[in-house]
Amino acid sequence: MGLIRFGANGEAPKRKIEEISGGTVEERLKKLKESVVETFDELKGVPDELKQAIAKEFEFKKMTEIQQQSIQVALNDNESDIIAQARTGSGKTLAFLVPCLSYLINEEFAKKKKGVGALILAPTRELALQISNVAEKILKSPSLKKANIGVGFFIGGNSNKYKEAQDLESGRVNLMIATPGRCLDHLNNAKFKSDLLKYFILDEADMLIDVGFERDVKLIGTKLPKTRTTFLFSATLSDKVEDLAALSLRRHPIRIGIEGNKNVATLTQMYLETPNDKKLACLISTLRHNKDKKIILFVAIKKSVDFLSNVLHEMGLPNTSMHGNISQENRTKVFLDFMKDSEPGILIATDVAARGLDFPNVDLIIQCDIPEQIAQYFHRVGRTARGGKSGTAILMLTETEKRVTLNNLNMYLQSHYSQQNKDASIEEAQKVELEQYTTPGTDKELTQIQQSVFDLVQSGYLYNEATSVINTYRGVFDMFSRKMGFGRNDFDYEGLQVSFGVKKALQAGGKKKK
């Protein structure tokens, strides 16, 4: 079988707990390293009732790497902030919730009406909701009922801003979870206690910047107590993330986290090479042969989500969809339904769903369109093989995409990457081997699927949808082809037309199939 290797081209260097920048004394570093433990029961400074709640609600035998490194540092070191590079699925939500909840419980924030003691910022409403759900799940445990910690969820949109301000001003909110815009609004206009706020968490910091919240986050930081401890969690550490850290954190933050894009042992990563004109047929065949799985399909553009969703429904493959143009109410419903449903199913999404969201029990990820950069690839595949569970990720590639991806994303075919000529600059921990996946359907089945798609698209409203999707792909290609490494003539317009049923597939001799 063919193999492709991903190198971590352009990724941030390794970050470990040992890396503490300027001025940190060795004695303090030694103490912090010695404090790292493997299980939640061993944690010092965490209330027993919180440990009991975690044991009851989560089936963890030991902490993840990021939890081991960050929780004790947060609890034992009041002088430093933390920059944590943590991939999705690494357990980072508990890594910052445990210190926050420990502080709120130990200091009796609810009983003494001390106001907001911890603030967590998330880049999307869905991620904020997910964090809130985890916190509520812990706090509803019988062992924590007496703590009575109040969780406030502030996301803007259709929520009642006046009621939110009342809750804040009454002191009932101890843990504030928010998107930056609504948080800044309340900091500017609501009069609530935050002078005892200890923890300021920036989750998915790279995405906070990508979606345009950099200015808001910086302003929020100026309105919080200077004595706070700030956690910055990010899957990647770009220059912009480092700039945000420089403004939001204190002078000598501790850097912790995973080593590069360390492979997840339970994740099987594969690629499916297919001609462009058979891409949709190969996808449908793969889905038909995996009906017993919970699947997420990632595509590059919103129109493609809608078109694929309609085609799959018509082909007997029920699905749900999620992208930025769907109303917030519907997006939240899709997110909650797919998150809670343990049954097999298909979710089609743009990258809005790829960042930080935790959908339990996802068996298979299929990337229908190639990622623009290696970080995007890892964000997508991070939706499966979470919490020690197994999962599979398939990247669909045309021959041209494979060639370009090899150059642009620093991927390697095994045939071009012999044992004797391995690039020593790419460390083993940073390589990802993609095993070749073969479409389970026969040539006859693929031909039948192509014909079914053609008949479907030609018979109604899907023709205009398909044409619009193809034209949008063409526009996106024209904008980004140079950046991605494609040539001007690499866009396979006719292949997409055949794949999406706009044109009839040709026989080997060049005649249209009947």
Pair (69, 47) in one structural domain: yes
Q: Which of the listed residues 257, 282, 304 is the one where a domain comes to its end?
A: 257
Judged against a pLDDT cut of 70, whether residue 35 lies above it is answered with no
Q: pLDDT class for 448, splitting at 50, 70, 90?
A: very high
Range 405-421 burial, b when 16+ CB lie within 10 A, else e = bbebbbbbbbeebeeee
Q: Which of the listed residues 215, 230, 257 is the one where a domain comes to its end?
A: 257
Residue 380 or 497, more confident: 497
Judged against a pLDDT cut of 60, whether residue 22 lies above it is answered with no
Quick one: average pLDDT of 121-129?
93
Judge contact between 466 and 496, C-beta under 8 A. no
Judge contact between 343 and 295, C-beta under 8 A. no
Nearest-10 crossing angle of helices 92-106, 125-139: 50
Q: Please indicate, yes or no, if residue 475 is contained in any of the structural domains.
A: no
Pair (338, 247) in one structural domain: no
Amino acid 265: pLDDT: 73
Residue 251 or 303, more confident: 303
Pair (198, 302) in one structural domain: no
CATH number at residue 422: 3.40.50.300
Pair (27, 148) in one structural domain: yes
Q: Please indicate, yes or no, if residue 4 is contained in any of the structural domains.
A: no
Structural domain including 282 reads: 267-441
Could you write out the DSSP letters of every residue in 286-305? HHHTTTTSEEEEE-SSHHHH
Judge contact between 78 and 229, C-beta under 8 A. yes
Judged against a pLDDT cut of 60, whether residue 508 lies above it is answered with no
Judged against a pLDDT cut of 70, whether residue 356 lies above it is answered with no
- As a whole number of Å, the end-to-end CA separation of the chain is 35
The candidate with the shortest Cα–Cα distance to 230, out of 244, 212, 216, 240, is: 244
**Percent of the chain with pLDDT strictly greater than 70:** 82
Q: pLDDT class for 116, splitting at 50, 70, 90?
A: very high
Pair (253, 271) in one structural domain: no
145-149, 237-241, 281-285, 309-313: least confidently modelled range: 237-241
Tell me: the pLDDT tens digits for 462-486?
999 999 999 999 999 988 888 888 8
269-273, 333-337, 351-355, 368-372: least confidently modelled range: 351-355
Pair (127, 209) in one structural domain: yes
Pair (246, 303) in one structural domain: no
Pair (346, 276) in one structural domain: yes
Judge contact between 185 and 161, C-beta under 8 A. yes
Q: Please indicate, yes or no, if residue 320 is contained in any of the structural domains.
A: yes
Pair (210, 348) in one structural domain: no
Contacts of 155 (CB under 8 A, 6+ apart): 125, 128, 129, 178, 179, 182
Judged against a pLDDT cut of 60, whether residue 430 lies above it is answered with no
> Whole-model pTM?
0.78
Q: Please indicate, yes or no, if residue 21 is contained in any of the structural domains.
A: yes
Judged against a pLDDT cut of 50, whether residue 14 lies above it is answered with no
2-11, 86-95, 253-262, 293-302: least confidently modelled range: 2-11
Amino acid 32: pLDDT: 64
- In whole angstroms, what is the distance from residue 496 CA to residue 457 CA? 13
Judged against a pLDDT cut of 90, whether residue 151 lies above it is answered with yes
Q: Please indicate, yes or no, if residue 397 is contained in any of the structural domains.
A: yes
Pair (319, 184) in one structural domain: no
Pair (38, 163) in one structural domain: yes
Pairing mode of beta strands 118-121, 199-202: parallel
3-state secondary structure (DSSP) of residue 25: coil
Judged against a pLDDT cut of 80, whether residue 499 lies above it is answered with yes
Q: Please count the structural domains in the chain.
A: 2
Quick one: average pLDDT of 205-227?
92
Pair (223, 274) in one structural domain: no
Judged against a pLDDT cut of 60, whether residue 421 lies above it is answered with no
Amino acid 488: pLDDT: 83
Q: Please indicate, yes or no, if residue 448 is contained in any of the structural domains.
A: no
H or E element, residue 317: none
Averaged pLDDT score across all residues of the chain: 84
Amino acid 357: pLDDT: 77
Q: pLDDT class for 379, splitting at 50, 70, 90?
A: confident
Q: Side chain identity at 449, as an amino acid letter? A: I
25-29, 164-168, 346-350: least confidently modelled range: 25-29
Tell me: the pLDDT tens digits for 262-299?
567 788 989 999 999 999 999 999 999 999 999 999 99
The residue to which tokens 């079914």 are assigned? 452
Q: Please indicate, yes or no, if residue 469 is contained in any of the structural domains.
A: no
Q: Which of the listed residues 392, 417, 441 is the one where a domain comes to its end?
A: 441
- In whole angstroms, what is the distance from residue 332 CA to residue 127 CA? 10
Q: Please indicate, yes or no, if residue 76 is contained in any of the structural domains.
A: yes
Judge contact between 34 and 76, C-beta under 8 A. no
Judged against a pLDDT cut of 50, whether residue 23 lies above it is answered with no
Quick one: average pLDDT of 314-340?
88
**Percent of the chain with pLDDT strictly greater than 90:** 55
